[in-house]
Chain A
Protein backbone atom coordinates (compact mmCIF):
# COMPACT_ATOMS: atom_id res chain seq x y z
CA UNK A 1 0.00 0.00 0.00
CA UNK A 2 2.67 2.50 1.02
CA UNK A 3 4.06 3.44 -2.38
CA UNK A 4 2.18 2.80 -5.55
CA UNK A 5 3.39 3.79 -8.98
CA UNK A 6 0.97 3.56 -11.88
CA UNK A 7 1.98 3.63 -15.50
CA UNK A 8 4.69 6.22 -14.86
CA UNK A 9 6.19 7.90 -17.89
CA UNK A 10 8.73 10.70 -17.93
CA UNK A 11 10.30 12.61 -20.79
CA UNK A 12 13.23 15.00 -20.31
CA UNK A 13 13.21 18.20 -22.39
CA UNK A 14 9.87 17.32 -23.95
CA UNK A 15 9.24 18.99 -27.28
CA UNK A 16 12.85 19.77 -28.13
CA UNK A 17 15.62 18.10 -30.08
CA UNK A 18 17.07 16.98 -26.75
CA UNK A 19 13.93 15.01 -25.95
CA UNK A 20 14.74 11.89 -23.98
CA UNK A 21 12.28 9.33 -22.71
CA UNK A 22 13.63 8.28 -19.32
CA UNK A 23 10.67 6.27 -18.00
CA UNK A 24 8.11 4.36 -19.98
CA UNK A 25 4.99 2.89 -18.40
CA UNK A 26 6.48 1.80 -15.08
CA UNK A 27 4.10 0.32 -12.47
CA UNK A 28 4.76 -1.30 -9.11
CA UNK A 29 3.74 -1.25 -5.51
CA UNK A 30 6.00 -1.30 -2.48
CA UNK A 31 4.43 -2.34 0.82
CA UNK A 32 5.56 -0.83 4.13
CA UNK A 33 8.80 -2.16 5.50
CA UNK A 34 10.15 -3.84 2.41
CA UNK A 35 13.84 -3.71 1.45
CA UNK A 36 13.81 -3.15 -2.28
CA UNK A 37 16.83 -3.14 -4.57
CA UNK A 38 16.67 -1.16 -7.78
CA UNK A 39 19.07 -2.20 -10.50
CA UNK A 40 19.58 -1.35 -14.14
CA UNK A 41 22.28 -0.20 -16.53
CA UNK A 42 23.47 3.41 -16.42
CA UNK A 43 20.81 5.59 -17.97
CA UNK A 44 18.03 3.06 -17.46
CA UNK A 45 16.02 5.61 -15.47
CA UNK A 46 16.70 4.61 -11.87
CA UNK A 47 17.55 8.08 -10.62
CA UNK A 48 14.66 9.60 -12.51
CA UNK A 49 12.30 7.03 -11.03
CA UNK A 50 13.27 7.62 -7.42
CA UNK A 51 13.07 11.38 -7.80
CA UNK A 52 9.42 10.89 -8.65
CA UNK A 53 8.76 9.10 -5.39
CA UNK A 54 9.20 12.22 -3.28
CA UNK A 55 7.77 14.63 -5.78
CA UNK A 56 11.00 16.26 -6.97
CA UNK A 57 10.04 15.46 -10.53
CA UNK A 58 6.52 15.66 -11.90
CA UNK A 59 5.50 12.73 -14.08
CA UNK A 60 4.85 13.30 -17.77
CA UNK A 61 2.22 10.59 -17.50
CA UNK A 62 0.93 8.24 -14.83
CA UNK A 63 0.34 8.57 -11.11
CA UNK A 64 2.17 8.04 -7.85
CA UNK A 65 0.35 7.30 -4.62
CA UNK A 66 1.76 7.48 -1.13
CA UNK A 67 -0.48 5.79 1.43
CA UNK A 68 -3.30 5.95 -1.06
CA UNK A 69 -3.02 9.65 -1.84
CA UNK A 70 -1.97 11.04 -5.20
CA UNK A 71 1.21 12.98 -4.42
CA UNK A 72 0.78 15.27 -7.40
CA UNK A 73 -2.87 15.87 -6.59
CA UNK A 74 -4.15 19.31 -5.71
CA UNK A 75 -3.40 20.45 -2.18
CA UNK A 76 -1.03 17.58 -1.38
CA UNK A 77 1.88 18.89 0.64
CA UNK A 78 5.10 17.90 -1.10
CA UNK A 79 7.21 19.25 1.74
CA UNK A 80 5.49 16.92 4.15
CA UNK A 81 5.94 14.06 1.71
CA UNK A 82 9.65 14.81 1.51
CA UNK A 83 9.98 14.43 5.25
CA UNK A 84 8.35 11.01 5.04
CA UNK A 85 10.08 9.79 1.92
CA UNK A 86 13.75 10.57 2.47
CA UNK A 87 15.94 10.61 -0.60
CA UNK A 88 19.73 10.52 -0.38
CA UNK A 89 21.40 11.55 -3.60
CA UNK A 90 24.37 9.86 -5.14
CA UNK A 91 26.91 12.57 -4.35
CA UNK A 92 27.09 13.91 -0.79
CA UNK A 93 28.94 16.91 -2.28
CA UNK A 94 25.57 18.05 -3.61
CA UNK A 95 24.11 18.64 -0.21
CA UNK A 96 26.84 19.33 2.36
CA UNK A 97 27.21 23.05 2.95
CA UNK A 98 27.43 23.88 6.65
CA UNK A 99 30.52 24.75 8.69
CA UNK A 100 30.33 21.60 10.78
CA UNK A 101 28.80 18.17 10.55
CA UNK A 102 26.13 18.60 13.19
CA UNK A 103 24.80 21.89 11.75
CA UNK A 104 24.55 20.26 8.38
CA UNK A 105 22.46 17.43 9.73
CA UNK A 106 20.28 19.98 11.54
CA UNK A 107 19.28 21.54 8.22
CA UNK A 108 16.58 19.00 7.36
CA UNK A 109 14.75 18.89 10.71
CA UNK A 110 14.99 22.68 11.00
CA UNK A 111 13.18 22.97 7.69
CA UNK A 112 10.39 20.93 9.26
CA UNK A 113 9.87 23.77 11.71
CA UNK A 114 10.80 21.84 14.85
CA UNK A 115 12.04 23.50 18.02
CA UNK A 116 15.79 24.04 18.25
CA UNK A 117 16.15 21.45 21.01
CA UNK A 118 14.34 18.85 19.02
CA UNK A 119 16.35 19.69 15.92
CA UNK A 120 19.59 19.02 17.77
CA UNK A 121 18.27 15.90 19.37
CA UNK A 122 17.24 14.49 16.03
CA UNK A 123 20.54 15.41 14.44
CA UNK A 124 22.50 13.71 17.19
CA UNK A 125 20.33 10.62 17.02
CA UNK A 126 20.74 10.46 13.25
CA UNK A 127 24.51 10.82 13.46
CA UNK A 128 24.65 8.00 15.99
CA UNK A 129 22.46 5.86 13.78
CA UNK A 130 24.89 6.13 10.89
CA UNK A 131 27.83 5.50 13.20
CA UNK A 132 29.46 8.94 13.11
CA UNK A 133 31.52 9.30 16.26
CA UNK A 134 31.06 12.41 18.38
CA UNK A 135 34.57 13.64 17.73
CA UNK A 136 33.60 14.33 14.12
CA UNK A 137 30.51 16.35 14.89
CA UNK A 138 32.28 19.69 15.04
CA UNK A 139 34.48 19.06 12.04
CA UNK A 140 33.90 20.59 8.65
CA UNK A 141 32.00 18.11 6.47
CA UNK A 142 34.36 18.93 3.62
CA UNK A 143 37.36 17.51 5.43
CA UNK A 144 35.80 14.07 5.89
CA UNK A 145 36.60 11.00 3.84
CA UNK A 146 34.24 9.89 1.09
CA UNK A 147 32.58 7.26 3.26
CA UNK A 148 32.08 9.65 6.15
CA UNK A 149 30.62 12.30 3.86
CA UNK A 150 28.20 9.67 2.67
CA UNK A 151 27.20 8.93 6.26
CA UNK A 152 26.65 12.57 7.07
CA UNK A 153 24.52 12.92 3.96
CA UNK A 154 22.44 9.93 5.01
CA UNK A 155 22.16 11.31 8.53
CA UNK A 156 20.98 14.60 7.07
CA UNK A 157 18.01 12.80 5.59
CA UNK A 158 17.46 10.40 8.50
CA UNK A 159 17.20 13.35 10.89
CA UNK A 160 13.87 14.13 9.28
CA UNK A 161 12.59 10.77 10.55
CA UNK A 162 11.41 9.43 7.21
CA UNK A 163 9.24 6.34 6.87
CA UNK A 164 10.88 5.45 3.58
CA UNK A 165 14.58 5.81 2.86
CA UNK A 166 15.73 5.90 -0.73
CA UNK A 167 19.45 5.72 -1.47
CA UNK A 168 20.86 6.42 -4.92
CA UNK A 169 24.06 4.40 -5.33
CA UNK A 170 25.24 5.06 -1.80
CA UNK A 171 28.28 2.84 -2.21
CA UNK A 172 29.70 4.19 -5.47
CA UNK A 173 33.33 5.09 -5.00
CA UNK A 174 33.70 3.56 -1.55
CA UNK A 175 36.20 0.92 -0.52
CA UNK A 176 34.81 -2.53 0.41
CA UNK A 177 34.88 -1.80 4.11
CA UNK A 178 33.10 1.55 3.79
CA UNK A 179 30.56 -0.08 1.51
CA UNK A 180 29.77 -2.91 3.92
CA UNK A 181 29.52 -0.54 6.86
CA UNK A 182 27.05 1.73 5.12
CA UNK A 183 24.92 -1.13 3.87
CA UNK A 184 24.93 -2.88 7.25
CA UNK A 185 23.76 0.34 8.82
CA UNK A 186 20.98 0.65 6.28
CA UNK A 187 19.92 -2.90 6.98
CA UNK A 188 19.95 -2.19 10.71
CA UNK A 189 17.59 0.74 10.10
CA UNK A 190 15.34 -1.53 8.15
CA UNK A 191 15.35 -4.28 10.78
CA UNK A 192 15.11 -2.09 13.87
CA UNK A 193 12.64 0.53 12.70
CA UNK A 194 10.78 -1.30 10.00
CA UNK A 195 11.80 1.42 7.60
CA UNK A 196 11.03 0.88 3.93
CA UNK A 197 14.29 0.93 2.00
CA UNK A 198 14.82 1.46 -1.69
CA UNK A 199 18.44 0.95 -2.62
CA UNK A 200 19.94 1.70 -6.00
CA UNK A 201 23.13 -0.22 -6.59
CA UNK A 202 25.23 -1.80 -9.28
CA UNK A 203 26.57 -4.53 -7.10
CA UNK A 204 24.69 -7.77 -7.57
CA UNK A 205 26.47 -9.20 -4.54
CA UNK A 206 25.04 -6.44 -2.36
CA UNK A 207 21.62 -6.95 -3.84
CA UNK A 208 21.67 -10.67 -3.16
CA UNK A 209 22.74 -10.03 0.39
CA UNK A 210 20.49 -7.19 1.42
CA UNK A 211 17.40 -6.88 -0.77
CA UNK A 212 14.14 -8.76 -0.23
CA UNK A 213 12.93 -7.78 -3.62
CA UNK A 214 14.54 -6.55 -6.80
CA UNK A 215 13.19 -4.19 -9.43
CA UNK A 216 15.13 -4.33 -12.67
CA UNK A 217 15.00 -1.35 -15.01
CA UNK A 218 15.96 -1.53 -18.66
CA UNK A 219 15.73 1.44 -21.03
CA UNK A 220 13.13 3.16 -18.90
CA UNK A 221 10.92 0.11 -18.53
CA UNK A 222 10.52 -2.30 -15.69
CA UNK A 223 12.12 -5.52 -16.90
CA UNK A 224 11.82 -7.79 -13.86
CA UNK A 225 10.27 -7.62 -10.43
CA UNK A 226 10.75 -10.36 -7.87
CA UNK A 227 12.95 -11.80 -5.16
CA UNK A 228 16.70 -11.73 -5.88
CA UNK A 229 16.70 -15.50 -6.32
CA UNK A 230 13.94 -15.35 -8.91
CA UNK A 231 15.66 -12.51 -10.72
CA UNK A 232 19.11 -14.06 -10.82
CA UNK A 233 17.68 -17.16 -12.50
CA UNK A 234 17.37 -14.89 -15.51
CA UNK A 235 21.08 -14.20 -15.51
CA UNK A 236 21.36 -14.58 -19.26
CA UNK A 237 18.71 -11.94 -19.85
CA UNK A 238 20.34 -9.73 -17.24
CA UNK A 239 23.58 -9.95 -19.17
CA UNK A 240 21.75 -8.76 -22.26
CA UNK A 241 20.82 -5.66 -20.27
CA UNK A 242 24.39 -4.97 -19.24
CA UNK A 243 23.85 -6.53 -15.80
CA UNK A 244 24.81 -9.85 -14.33
CA UNK A 245 24.11 -12.29 -11.52
CA UNK A 246 26.41 -12.46 -8.48
CA UNK A 247 29.75 -14.08 -9.30
CA UNK A 248 29.08 -17.02 -7.04
CA UNK A 249 25.91 -17.84 -8.95
CA UNK A 250 28.05 -18.45 -12.02
CA UNK A 251 30.28 -20.80 -10.07
CA UNK A 252 27.24 -22.71 -8.86
CA UNK A 253 25.83 -22.95 -12.36
CA UNK A 254 29.15 -24.22 -13.68
CA UNK A 255 29.28 -26.85 -10.94
CA UNK A 256 25.71 -27.93 -11.64
CA UNK A 257 26.56 -28.38 -15.29
CA UNK A 258 29.32 -30.75 -14.23
CA UNK A 259 26.86 -32.81 -12.28
CA UNK A 260 27.29 -31.50 -8.75
CA UNK A 261 23.88 -31.47 -7.14
CA UNK A 262 23.33 -27.96 -5.88
CA UNK A 263 20.38 -25.66 -5.48
CA UNK A 264 20.31 -23.31 -8.49
CA UNK A 265 19.11 -20.41 -6.34
CA UNK A 266 22.36 -19.86 -4.49
CA UNK A 267 23.24 -16.19 -4.70
CA UNK A 268 25.50 -15.39 -1.75
CA UNK A 269 28.92 -16.65 -0.78
CA UNK A 270 27.62 -17.89 2.58
CA UNK A 271 24.90 -19.97 0.95
CA UNK A 272 27.39 -21.37 -1.50
CA UNK A 273 29.80 -22.29 1.27
CA UNK A 274 27.12 -24.12 3.24
CA UNK A 275 25.78 -25.91 0.19
CA UNK A 276 29.24 -26.98 -0.96
CA UNK A 277 30.20 -28.24 2.50
CA UNK A 278 26.96 -30.15 2.63
CA UNK A 279 27.59 -31.63 -0.80
CA UNK A 280 31.11 -32.65 0.21
CA UNK A 281 29.96 -34.23 3.44
CA UNK A 282 27.25 -36.35 1.92
CA UNK A 283 29.88 -37.40 -0.59
CA UNK A 284 27.60 -37.08 -3.55
CA UNK A 285 29.47 -35.99 -6.57
Chain B
Protein backbone atom coordinates (compact mmCIF):
# COMPACT_ATOMS: atom_id res chain seq x y z
CA UNK B 1 0.00 0.00 0.00
CA UNK B 2 2.94 2.31 0.63
CA UNK B 3 4.90 1.24 -2.34
CA UNK B 4 2.89 3.44 -4.66
CA UNK B 5 5.28 6.35 -4.36
CA UNK B 6 7.28 6.27 -7.56
CA UNK B 7 9.07 9.58 -7.19
CA UNK B 8 12.60 8.79 -6.15
CA UNK B 9 12.08 5.12 -6.88
CA UNK B 10 14.76 3.86 -9.17
CA UNK B 11 13.79 0.95 -11.38
CA UNK B 12 16.88 -1.20 -11.71
CA UNK B 13 17.13 -2.53 -15.25
CA UNK B 14 19.73 -1.90 -17.89
CA UNK B 15 18.92 0.41 -20.80
CA UNK B 16 20.43 3.22 -22.84
CA UNK B 17 18.54 5.68 -20.67
CA UNK B 18 19.88 4.14 -17.48
CA UNK B 19 23.44 4.47 -18.74
CA UNK B 20 22.98 8.03 -19.94
CA UNK B 21 24.61 10.92 -18.11
CA UNK B 22 22.21 12.38 -15.53
CA UNK B 23 22.81 15.88 -16.87
CA UNK B 24 21.55 14.77 -20.26
CA UNK B 25 18.42 13.38 -18.68
CA UNK B 26 17.86 16.44 -16.54
CA UNK B 27 18.20 18.69 -19.53
CA UNK B 28 15.96 16.41 -21.57
CA UNK B 29 13.27 16.55 -18.92
CA UNK B 30 13.47 20.31 -18.89
CA UNK B 31 13.27 20.46 -22.67
CA UNK B 32 10.26 18.18 -22.55
CA UNK B 33 8.47 20.26 -19.94
CA UNK B 34 9.12 23.46 -21.88
CA UNK B 35 7.85 21.77 -25.04
CA UNK B 36 4.63 20.84 -23.25
CA UNK B 37 4.03 24.45 -22.38
CA UNK B 38 4.77 25.51 -25.95
CA UNK B 39 2.29 23.02 -27.34
CA UNK B 40 -0.93 24.69 -28.39
CA UNK B 41 -2.55 22.32 -30.85
CA UNK B 42 -3.35 18.66 -31.27
CA UNK B 43 -0.37 18.00 -33.53
CA UNK B 44 2.06 19.32 -30.95
CA UNK B 45 0.61 17.02 -28.34
CA UNK B 46 0.77 14.14 -30.77
CA UNK B 47 4.46 14.81 -31.29
CA UNK B 48 4.96 14.98 -27.53
CA UNK B 49 3.14 11.66 -27.15
CA UNK B 50 5.27 9.98 -29.80
CA UNK B 51 8.45 11.29 -28.19
CA UNK B 52 7.35 10.11 -24.75
CA UNK B 53 6.31 6.70 -26.05
CA UNK B 54 9.68 6.27 -27.74
CA UNK B 55 11.54 7.24 -24.58
CA UNK B 56 9.45 4.87 -22.44
CA UNK B 57 10.25 2.04 -24.86
CA UNK B 58 13.93 2.83 -24.66
CA UNK B 59 13.86 2.85 -20.87
CA UNK B 60 12.80 -0.81 -20.50
CA UNK B 61 10.62 0.21 -17.56
CA UNK B 62 7.10 -1.27 -17.69
CA UNK B 63 4.37 1.25 -18.49
CA UNK B 64 2.50 0.31 -15.32
CA UNK B 65 5.39 1.76 -13.30
CA UNK B 66 5.39 4.96 -15.33
CA UNK B 67 1.74 5.71 -14.75
CA UNK B 68 1.89 4.82 -11.08
CA UNK B 69 2.99 8.37 -10.29
CA UNK B 70 -0.28 9.62 -11.74
CA UNK B 71 -2.25 8.34 -8.78
CA UNK B 72 -0.63 11.00 -6.63
CA UNK B 73 -1.89 13.82 -8.85
CA UNK B 74 -5.31 12.36 -9.60
CA UNK B 75 -7.00 14.89 -7.35
CA UNK B 76 -5.10 17.82 -8.83
CA UNK B 77 -5.93 16.53 -12.27
CA UNK B 78 -9.65 16.34 -11.52
CA UNK B 79 -9.73 19.83 -10.07
CA UNK B 80 -7.85 21.51 -12.88
CA UNK B 81 -9.88 19.68 -15.49
CA UNK B 82 -13.19 20.67 -13.94
CA UNK B 83 -12.12 24.28 -13.50
CA UNK B 84 -11.12 24.53 -17.10
CA UNK B 85 -14.20 22.68 -18.24
CA UNK B 86 -16.75 24.77 -16.40
CA UNK B 87 -15.18 28.17 -16.03
CA UNK B 88 -13.91 28.90 -19.52
CA UNK B 89 -15.89 31.53 -21.38
CA UNK B 90 -16.91 30.87 -24.96
CA UNK B 91 -19.37 29.17 -27.24
CA UNK B 92 -21.75 27.12 -25.15
CA UNK B 93 -22.02 23.41 -26.00
CA UNK B 94 -24.44 22.28 -23.31
CA UNK B 95 -25.31 23.04 -19.72
CA UNK B 96 -25.61 20.83 -16.62
CA UNK B 97 -27.80 22.63 -14.08
CA UNK B 98 -25.98 25.97 -13.72
CA UNK B 99 -22.64 24.79 -15.14
CA UNK B 100 -21.92 25.87 -18.71
CA UNK B 101 -19.66 23.72 -20.79
CA UNK B 102 -18.08 25.56 -23.69
CA UNK B 103 -16.18 24.42 -26.72
CA UNK B 104 -13.13 26.32 -25.50
CA UNK B 105 -13.55 24.76 -22.06
CA UNK B 106 -13.48 21.22 -23.43
CA UNK B 107 -10.38 22.06 -25.45
CA UNK B 108 -8.62 23.67 -22.52
CA UNK B 109 -9.52 20.88 -20.12
CA UNK B 110 -8.37 18.22 -22.55
CA UNK B 111 -5.04 19.95 -23.16
CA UNK B 112 -4.58 20.58 -19.47
CA UNK B 113 -5.13 16.93 -18.61
CA UNK B 114 -2.79 15.68 -21.32
CA UNK B 115 -0.17 18.25 -20.33
CA UNK B 116 -0.27 17.26 -16.67
CA UNK B 117 -0.18 13.54 -17.43
CA UNK B 118 2.76 13.92 -19.82
CA UNK B 119 4.52 16.11 -17.31
CA UNK B 120 4.30 13.56 -14.53
CA UNK B 121 5.07 10.56 -16.72
CA UNK B 122 7.92 12.48 -18.35
CA UNK B 123 9.56 13.28 -15.04
CA UNK B 124 8.94 9.71 -13.85
CA UNK B 125 11.05 8.50 -16.78
CA UNK B 126 13.95 10.43 -15.35
CA UNK B 127 13.52 9.33 -11.74
CA UNK B 128 12.95 5.71 -12.73
CA UNK B 129 16.08 5.49 -14.84
CA UNK B 130 18.38 7.59 -12.66
CA UNK B 131 19.42 6.76 -9.14
CA UNK B 132 18.87 9.64 -6.72
CA UNK B 133 22.62 9.90 -6.31
CA UNK B 134 23.26 10.29 -10.01
CA UNK B 135 20.48 12.80 -10.16
CA UNK B 136 21.95 15.06 -7.53
CA UNK B 137 25.42 14.66 -8.99
CA UNK B 138 23.95 15.84 -12.26
CA UNK B 139 22.21 18.74 -10.59
CA UNK B 140 25.28 19.77 -8.69
CA UNK B 141 27.43 19.77 -11.77
CA UNK B 142 24.86 21.51 -13.95
CA UNK B 143 24.32 24.24 -11.40
CA UNK B 144 27.99 24.45 -10.43
CA UNK B 145 28.31 27.92 -11.96
CA UNK B 146 26.08 29.24 -9.17
CA UNK B 147 28.85 28.54 -6.67
CA UNK B 148 30.55 31.64 -8.01
CA UNK B 149 27.75 33.74 -6.60
CA UNK B 150 27.95 31.97 -3.23
CA UNK B 151 24.98 29.68 -3.71
CA UNK B 152 25.71 26.55 -1.61
CA UNK B 153 25.09 24.20 -4.51
CA UNK B 154 27.04 21.32 -3.07
CA UNK B 155 25.31 21.48 0.29
CA UNK B 156 21.91 21.67 -1.34
CA UNK B 157 22.71 18.73 -3.56
CA UNK B 158 23.91 16.76 -0.55
CA UNK B 159 20.76 17.53 1.39
CA UNK B 160 18.68 16.48 -1.55
CA UNK B 161 20.52 13.26 -2.18
CA UNK B 162 20.22 12.31 1.48
CA UNK B 163 16.53 13.15 1.53
CA UNK B 164 15.94 11.11 -1.61
CA UNK B 165 17.95 8.24 -0.25
CA UNK B 166 15.87 8.22 2.89
CA UNK B 167 12.49 8.06 1.20
CA UNK B 168 12.53 4.35 0.36
CA UNK B 169 14.13 3.56 3.72
CA UNK B 170 11.40 5.38 5.58
CA UNK B 171 8.73 3.80 3.41
CA UNK B 172 10.08 0.38 4.29
CA UNK B 173 10.31 1.35 7.93
CA UNK B 174 6.71 2.55 7.91
CA UNK B 175 5.67 -0.78 6.48
CA UNK B 176 7.45 -2.64 9.27
CA UNK B 177 6.05 -0.43 12.01
CA UNK B 178 2.57 -0.79 10.58
CA UNK B 179 2.91 -4.54 10.66
CA UNK B 180 4.24 -4.53 14.20
CA UNK B 181 1.28 -2.45 15.40
CA UNK B 182 -1.20 -4.48 13.38
CA UNK B 183 0.12 -7.54 15.15
CA UNK B 184 -1.03 -5.78 18.31
CA UNK B 185 -4.50 -5.29 16.92
CA UNK B 186 -4.05 -1.83 15.39
CA UNK B 187 -6.53 -0.82 12.76
CA UNK B 188 -5.38 1.88 10.36
CA UNK B 189 -8.34 1.72 7.99
CA UNK B 190 -11.67 2.01 9.73
CA UNK B 191 -13.11 4.76 11.90
CA UNK B 192 -13.82 8.44 11.35
CA UNK B 193 -11.30 11.19 10.75
CA UNK B 194 -10.49 11.75 14.42
CA UNK B 195 -10.22 8.04 15.03
CA UNK B 196 -7.94 7.65 12.04
CA UNK B 197 -5.72 10.53 13.11
CA UNK B 198 -5.46 9.00 16.56
CA UNK B 199 -4.57 5.61 15.18
CA UNK B 200 -1.61 7.19 13.38
CA UNK B 201 0.17 8.03 16.64
CA UNK B 202 1.52 4.48 17.19
CA UNK B 203 2.84 4.67 13.65
CA UNK B 204 4.30 8.16 13.66
CA UNK B 205 6.13 8.09 16.99
CA UNK B 206 8.36 5.10 16.15
CA UNK B 207 8.83 6.49 12.64
CA UNK B 208 10.05 9.87 13.86
CA UNK B 209 12.30 8.33 16.45
CA UNK B 210 13.81 6.09 13.85
CA UNK B 211 14.26 8.97 11.41
CA UNK B 212 16.05 11.08 14.00
CA UNK B 213 18.23 8.17 15.02
CA UNK B 214 19.17 7.51 11.42
CA UNK B 215 19.95 11.17 10.89
CA UNK B 216 22.30 11.33 13.88
CA UNK B 217 23.95 8.07 12.87
CA UNK B 218 24.50 9.36 9.37
CA UNK B 219 25.90 12.66 10.60
CA UNK B 220 28.32 10.76 12.83
CA UNK B 221 29.37 8.48 10.00
CA UNK B 222 29.97 11.45 7.72
CA UNK B 223 32.03 13.26 10.33
CA UNK B 224 33.99 10.11 11.04
CA UNK B 225 34.98 10.15 7.39
CA UNK B 226 35.98 13.78 7.58
CA UNK B 227 33.18 15.23 5.54
CA UNK B 228 33.53 18.99 5.49
CA UNK B 229 31.41 20.18 2.62
CA UNK B 230 32.17 20.46 -1.07
CA UNK B 231 35.41 22.44 -0.86
CA UNK B 232 38.19 20.51 -2.58
CA UNK B 233 36.18 17.33 -2.77
CA UNK B 234 36.84 15.10 -5.75
CA UNK B 235 34.65 12.39 -7.17
CA UNK B 236 35.23 8.71 -7.54
CA UNK B 237 33.12 8.65 -10.67
CA UNK B 238 33.31 12.05 -12.36
CA UNK B 239 30.50 12.69 -14.82
CA UNK B 240 31.60 12.42 -18.43
CA UNK B 241 29.55 12.68 -21.59
CA UNK B 242 29.59 9.71 -23.96
CA UNK B 243 28.44 9.31 -27.55
CA UNK B 244 24.89 8.49 -26.50
CA UNK B 245 24.66 11.80 -24.67
CA UNK B 246 25.60 13.81 -27.76
CA UNK B 247 23.07 11.77 -29.72
CA UNK B 248 20.48 12.62 -27.08
CA UNK B 249 21.18 16.33 -27.31
CA UNK B 250 20.80 16.16 -31.09
CA UNK B 251 17.48 14.39 -30.59
CA UNK B 252 16.32 17.12 -28.24
CA UNK B 253 17.18 19.75 -30.81
CA UNK B 254 15.30 17.85 -33.49
CA UNK B 255 12.31 17.37 -31.19
CA UNK B 256 12.22 21.04 -30.29
CA UNK B 257 12.48 21.93 -33.96
CA UNK B 258 9.54 19.72 -34.84
CA UNK B 259 7.56 21.13 -31.95
CA UNK B 260 8.15 24.75 -32.97
CA UNK B 261 7.40 23.94 -36.59
CA UNK B 262 4.10 22.29 -35.68
CA UNK B 263 3.27 25.26 -33.51
CA UNK B 264 3.77 27.78 -36.29
CA UNK B 265 2.33 25.69 -39.14
CA UNK B 266 -1.00 24.82 -37.47
Contact = CB atoms under 8 A, between A and B. Distances in A.
Contacts of A108: 184-185
A10 B201 CA distance: 30
Contacts of A15: 62, 64
Interface string B205-226: 1100110010000000000000
Contacts of A95: 177, 180-181, 184, 202, 206
B206 A96 contact: yes
Interface stretch (A63-71, A78-86, A265-273): A78-86
A142 B184 CA distance: 19
A91 B13 CA distance: 32
Contacts of A56: 179, 182-183
Contacts of A79: 185, 187
A109 to B, nearest CB: 8
A96 B13 CA distance: 38
B255 interface: no
B184 A89 contact: no
Range, interface on chain A: 20 to 34
Nearest to B185: A111
A51 interface: yes
A142 B182 CA distance: 20
Contact of A94 (B13, B61, B201, B206): B206
Contacts of A160: 184-185
22 contacts: A16-B11, A17-B11, A17-B62, A54-B183, A56-B182, A56-B183, A82-B185, A83-B185, A87-B183, A89-B179, A93-B209, A93-B210, A93-B213, A94-B177, A94-B206, A95-B180, A95-B202, A107-B181, A111-B185, A111-B186, A157-B184, A160-B184
Interface class of chain B by DSSP: helix
B184 A97 contact: no
A220 interface: no
Interface of B: 3, 11-13, 61-62, 64-65, 173, 176-177, 179-187, 201-202, 205-206, 209-210, 213
Contacts of A82: 182-185
Given A93-B210, A94-B176, A94-B177, A17 B12 contact: yes
A18 interface: yes
Interface of A: 13, 15-18, 51, 54, 56, 79, 82-83, 86-89, 91, 93-97, 107-108, 111-112, 142, 156-157, 160
Contact of A16 (B65, B173, B186, B202): B65
A142 B212 CA distance: 13
Given A18-B11, A94-B210, 6 more contacts: A17-B13, A89-B176, A89-B183, A95-B206, A142-B209, A160-B184
Given A18-B12, A89-B179, A97-B202, A156 B209 contact: no
Contacts of A91: 176
Given A18-B12, A93-B210, A51 B185 contact: no
A106 to B, nearest CB: 10
A87 B185 CA distance: 11
List of 5 A-B pairs having minimum Cβ-Cβ separation, nearest first? A111-B185, A97-B205, A108-B184, A95-B180, A94-B180
B81 to A, nearest CB: 30
Nearest to A12: B3
A156 B202 CA distance: 13
Contacts of B11: 16-18
A107 B217 CA distance: 30
A193 to B, nearest CB: 19
A231 B212 CA distance: 43
Nearest to B173: A94
A94 B3 CA distance: 19
A18 B61 CA distance: 11
B205 A51 contact: no
Contact of A51 (B3, B13, B64, B179): B179
A93 B213 CA distance: 11
